[in-house]
Amino acid sequence: MTASKFDGATNVLLRDCLQAALVVDKQCGGGFWRKASYSLFPNSPMNHPGNAKKSREQVGRAVRAWFTLPEAGRWPGVPCVLCGRAAVGFFGKMDVALAESESYRNSTPPGHEGMSLCWPCLICFRAYPYGCRLTGGPSSVVHSWDESFLAETVRRQVDRTAKVITIAGEAERPDELAEVIVVEALKSYRGRIRAGVELMVVNNNNRGQLLRTRVLDQPLAEWLRRRSRHPAFGVLEQAQASSTVSGQVGLARTVFARPPRLVTRCVSPLLRSVIDGEEQRDRALGLIELLRFFVVEVMLMKDKDLAEIDATARKIASKLKAEDTGGKLRAFRSAVSEPRKLRRLLSAEAVVWAIDPWESSDEPFISRAALTLLFDPDPDNSAWFHREYLLIGVLAELKRFGWVSKRPEQDKEGLDTELADDELEVS
């Protein structure tokens, strides 16, 4: 940004702050900006409790002074902590909306003068509200070191915020999950995501200070952007729904809180699809392909590890396809959530395979490498995830075989409750 553009942006900021400080009708745009300022810049010149006893001229002078560059002789002689330029002073909570400590109120701790900031960085903090999602309570902002993505995301948010400020619009819905906004921003972005994406939820109010940060790592952010165009992405989203939240909200919560659960929550629709039969074959196989992309691109599983689990899944499915009903399939699903039970089941099948294999193969039923992937408790080995992937592999093979239960309604009875209970905890 050139110096002239920076000065122009500063003047816009000053204009809006003056309007907020001098507003009489709190239902107008300036009124909303005043209310929002309490959670961003408490006790600043635009909303100071003493303003009621001051004239409009006095309040206006105080706001203008807040936006006046300090004389060079008063600069502290230290660099800006953010960019290294000469700092123009030390600044605390009133100017920096992202202060986290609850003890960091309107003055800095004893013996600490505050954050040293240069003039451009200070003004950027003052302009922070334009690029955040204002709700009248906690505000949220998206950050990334991918400058192209950040520029597009901030530009869109600035347009939305400007309508709230200047047209006396309503605040954005506080019940609309901030995580959903981030996921939608990724889905609409056309370029490659080259860095992680961070969501910060902020409340700088004296009575409820908050800074909550959540991060999407670069592989997950890029997977969401790229694979949201996959034909089965809507099916994946539906699989994240529950009785209380939509699929869109469920997906947004999951990717921020526990990304591998995206896969585990797809077990229910896949199992139902296998039992139901051929009518949902394309949807199911599309979802399986999308999950495979997730496992490779986000979980970064190695091809040789995938091949080991896939080989075991194929042998299990080739035996289950001889069944007329889904009883043994459901028993296998239950065993997957209990490592000891699953190990006993696989050991028993390995013995049967060694005596009378049901496929023409010189391979063992399950390799030592596959056993390690499925049961090794090493923290670096996501055994629980590998077991869930084994189950999905079995369902994928059954779907490809075209296997159908001969009593689907009985096999589906109680399935949703059973799966919901199983998916609450992952061991």
**Tens-place pLDDT, residues 288-302:** 999 999 999 999 999
Contact 214, 199 (CB under 8 A): yes
Report how far residue 332's alpha carbon sits from residue 335's, in angstroms, rounded to the nearest whole number: 5
* pLDDT tens readout for residues 109-167: 566 667 899 999 999 998 888 888 877 678 889 999 999 999 999 999 988 887 776 65
Please report where in the chains the tokens 């006095």 appear, as a residue: 58
30, 49, 68 - which closes a domain: 68
In this structure, is residue 103 part of a structural domain? Answer: no
User: What is the total count of domains within the chain?
Assistant: 2
Backbone angles phi, psi at 59, to 5 degrees: -65, -45
Domain finish residue from 68, 85, 108: 68
Is 139 inside a domain boundary?
no
211-222 pLDDT, tens digit each: 888 999 999 999
pLDDT of residue 29: 56
- Is 260 contained in some domain? yes
Tell me the backbone φ, ψ of residue 50, rounded to 5 degrees. -80, -5
Question: CA 222 to CA 254: how far, in whole Å?
Answer: 16
Alpha helices in 38-111 (DSSP H): 56-66
- Say which amino acid occupies 219: P
Q: Are 401 and 317 in contact (CB under 8 A)?
A: yes
Domain contains 320: yes
Residue 216 lies in a domain: no
Domain range enclosing 399: 230-422
Sheet holding 139-144, edge to edge: 139-144, 197-203, 210-216
**For residue 132, is it within any domain?**
no
Kind plus residue range of the DSSP H or E element containing 422: helix 415-422
Q: Is residue 79 part of a domain?
A: no
pLDDT number for residue 361 = 78
| Cα–Cα nearest to 287, from 240, 319, 335, 219 | 240
Instruction: Look up residue 45 and give its two tokens.
Output: 């010149």
43 Rama sector, left if φ>0, alpha if ψ -120 to 50, beta otherwise: left
Query: What is the identity of the amino acid at 57?
Result: E
CA distance 213 to 336: 34
Predicted confidence at residue 359, as pLDDT, reads 79
State which of 28, 45, 68 marks the end of a domain.
68
Identify whether the C-beta of residue 37 lies closer than 8 Å to the C-beta of residue 46.
yes
Does some domain include residue 86?
A: no
CA dist list (Å): 297 to 89, 292, 313, 364, 380: 46, 8, 21, 29, 18
